[in-house]
Amino acid sequence: MPTTAIMVDSLIKSYGNFRAVDGVSFEVKEGEVFGFLGPNGAGKTTTILSILGIVVPDSGRIEVLGYDMAVEPLKAKEKLGYLPESATIYGELTAWKNLEFFASFYKIPHLEMERRITELLKRVGLWEARHRKAKTFSKGMRQRLLLAQALVNDPELLIFDEPTSGLDPEGAILVKEIIREYRREGKTVFFSSHVLSEVEELSDRVGIIVRGKLRAVGKLDEVKRKFMEMEGYVIKVETDGPIPELKLPGVVSIERPSENSAVVVARSDIRAELSRYLCSKGLAVVSLTMEEPSLEDVFLKTVYGGE
């Protein structure tokens, strides 16, 4: 059974009078990819920095890989890799030396460290540039170096803050590949993003944060189902003849694009009842489909339609 990689319980963090994170609770299970979605300024980075023990929460409890971050943060940090949204690298040091410096914080035997740095520089496409000073690097190259840095201790848990922002398309593909690779190896990935498509593409579960509050959390299909329960199930039906009045329990609204078709919004999935009713009226159902909301529908409604 999967155990918990990250546990956040009732996290609150304010800057002055402004509450950036307001009672956020969720769990990330070992071996899953968790996408933390929210618009700019929603509190994603503050939550991540609290998880990492870099920001001290006003209240709440955080456990990472079984360690209480208020008590044993270093034990957890040894086993995690963090890719910040933006960070400085040492411009006067080469790519190789930057990684060597970072690796020196961990107890990695020298030969193993050299092997790992070689592998990582090749993996992120910086092998040819390994002896160049980092100050000569483009933004994309710097991000790749930061990515290698996050992986230098062969972490069990990856925490990525907006990992594809600032990256060229190839770099973004590389990040996604690495996330998938880690998942295949049974490791855990927590990443924040405001890019819906990448969250939808990569995540086993998602959390949506808006103005410091977690509005939805769960598997993508669970989040979508909850959304349908709140907003209504959209069912499209087409028959071989004019559709009569639809008096069925649970129907909220009906639109009629044509005589033979209807778009029904209902409180539950009434496809079977609808089909039986139409048959009882002597009509043949030509097509009957239920519209799945996209993550974008859920997100936009959560961000702009919430209280």
Ligand X SMILES: Nc1ncnc2c1ncn2[C@@H]1O[C@H](COP(=O)(O)OP(=O)(O)OP(=O)(O)O)[C@@H](O)[C@H]1O
- Residues in contact with ligand X by CB under 6 A are 15, 20, 38, 40-46
CB of 162 to ligand X, least distance (A): 6
Look up tokens 């690298």; give the residue.
Answer: 89
Cα–Cα distance measured from residue 196 to residue 296, given in angstroms and rounded to the nearest whole number:
6
Q: Which is nearer to ligand X, 50 or 153 (CB)?
A: 50
Q: What is the DSSP string of 24-82?
A: EEEEEETT-EEEEE--TTSSHHHHHHHHTTSS--SEEEEEETTEETTT-HHHHHHTEEE
Q: Which is nearer to ligand X, 197 or 289 (CB)?
A: 197
CB of 48 to ligand X, least distance (A): 7
Q: Which is nearer to ligand X, 45 or 98 (CB)?
A: 45
CB of 208 to ligand X, least distance (A): 11
Q: Which is nearer to ligand X, 37 or 120 (CB)?
A: 37
Q: Which is nearer to ligand X, 207 or 293 (CB)?
A: 207
Cα–Cα distance measured from residue 156 to residue 136, given in angstroms and rounded to the nearest whole number:
32
CB of 33 to ligand X, least distance (A): 19
CB of 16 to ligand X, least distance (A): 7
Q: Which is nearer to ligand X, 10 or 268 (CB)?
A: 10
CB of 36 to ligand X, least distance (A): 9
Helices (H), 66-188: 73-78, 95-103, 110-123, 139-151, 169-184
CB of 257 to ligand X, least distance (A): 40
Q: Which is nearer to ligand X, 2 or 41 (CB)?
A: 41
Q: Which two tokens stand for residue 171?
A: 């770099």
At residue 205, φ and ψ (nearest 5 deg) are -135, 160
Nearest to 147, CA basis, from 171, 111, 112, 180: 171
Q: Which residues contact 125 (CB under 8 A, 6 or more apart)?
A: 144, 170, 174
| Burial of residue 117 (number of CB atoms within 10 Å: 0-12, 13-18, 19+) | buried
